[in-house]
Amino acid sequence: MKTLIFGAGPTGSLYAARLFEAGHDITLLDRGQRLEDLRTHGVVLEDAFSGDREVHHIPVNDEFDEDADYDLVMVVMRKNQAQKILPTLAKNRRVGTYLFLMNNAAGPDELVDAVGKERVMVGLPSSGAYHQGPVTKVMPAKMAPLYIGEVDGRVTDRTRAVADFLSTMRDKKAKIRSDMDAYLVTHISMLAAHLGVYAAGLDGERLAKTRDAIVLGLRAQQEAMRAQRAAGIPVRPPYFRAVSLVPEAFMEALMRPIVKTTFYQTGIIGHARAARDEISHLLDEFRQRVAPGGEPMPAFEELAAYVAEDIEPMPVGRRQVPMRWKGVVALGVGLTSASALIAWRNWKKTGSVF
């Protein structure tokens, strides 16, 4: 399958390298300094933990015209950047499939209007990577699948062919979803839990010490999911709704050590720092998408204000937001009841409660 990867950002570079090493006909397209880096150094991948490096010399291009002939064009870039190239993509009538791998809370209509429903597929990339000069630092994420699907939810021969093609990447498995739009909107709802990184000045250590930034993030996520459902967009996968059942105090305690880890610093804070413009764009898209439901999102809006670069972060250690203890007693009763049931079953079987 002759493939162009439009956008040599961290994820585009990683996917290009993995498909290229699998033996496919791959070309990368980018411009400016990134194009020069690719021509000079190739695609340089470095494991963010071990420091191991690999280099792939992949054909590169800086132009995409109406005569470009590819079976598949993978658009792997930020949503606000992808919008700018839609007129360019629309002029080409020879490409059979455009696969847009990106965050998208607005739905597929804009993509369909630009290049035609029969040529659009959507998906969400699943790599944790970022650029450091010409080097692409990669977070190992072998178990995270790459979800793709048709805009109308059907599963066709094309859907399966593209999924099989993408699954040839080392350490990557593509999975087909029939609910990609709802899944993409849910991803923004889940992202709301991490808006506290902006309130903490993009500093994991500071975030761990600032309870209000974590708590408001947890509330922002719950508000976003409620707003999503009120607007008639189901939470997908449905089990994500279970997050709202965990008592706030437990979730806050769980988050504190997590935000200091290397994985969080790289995968969440690193992306938040590099993609501030995209995050702002996606939050606007989400607001517009869920507005018909009329569900208020006060914590969401409080944290979203910090995405602007000229806003001072919260004072470190701020604890002004009262903790909600609802559910803690119920959880304790549930755990006690479960323990009693296990003890009773053991006593019936063995004569011992242990």
- The per-residue DSSP string of 65-91 comes to -TT---SEEEE-S-HHHHHHHHHHHHH
Which pTM was predicted? 0.88
At residue 268, φ and ψ (nearest 5 deg) are: -100, -60
Residue of 162, 150, 154 lying closest to 73 (CA atoms): 162
Q: What is the pLDDT of residue 280?
A: 96
Q: What is the pLDDT of residue 353?
A: 29
C-alpha to C-alpha distance for 171 and 173, rounded to whole angstroms: 7
**pLDDT greater than 80 at residue 120:** yes
Q: At 226, is the pLDDT very low, low, confident or very high (cuts 50, 70, 90)? A: very high
- Reduced to 3 states (helix: H, G, I; strand: E, B; else coil), residue 143 is coil
pLDDT digits (tens, 9 = 90+) for 129-166: 778 889 988 876 665 789 999 999 999 999 999 999 99
212: tokens are: 């209000």
Sheet strand arrangement including 72-75? 60-61, 26-29, 3-6, 72-75, 97-101, 120-124, 146-150, 174-176
146: tokens are: 């790459």
Residue found under tokens 């008592």: 247
Sheet strand arrangement including 53-56? 53-56, 43-47, 135-139, 128-132
Helix H or strand E encompassing 46? strand 43-47
**187 exposed, middle or buried (CB, 10 Å; 0-12, 13-18, 19+)?**
middle
Residue found under tokens 């804009």: 110
318: tokens are: 């701020």
Residue of 48, 47, 53, 11 lying closest to 30 (CA atoms): 11
Least confident of 38-52, 90-104, 120-134: 120-134
Q: What is the pLDDT of residue 194?
A: 96
Residue found under tokens 């000069």: 133
pLDDT digits (tens, 9 = 90+) for 262-297: 888 877 888 898 889 999 999 999 999 999 999 999
Mean local confidence (pLDDT), 179-205: 96
Q: What is the pLDDT of residue 178?
A: 96
C-alpha to C-alpha distance for 351 and 287, rounded to whole angstroms: 59
Q: What is the pLDDT of residue 67?
A: 92
Mean local confidence (pLDDT), 164-185: 95
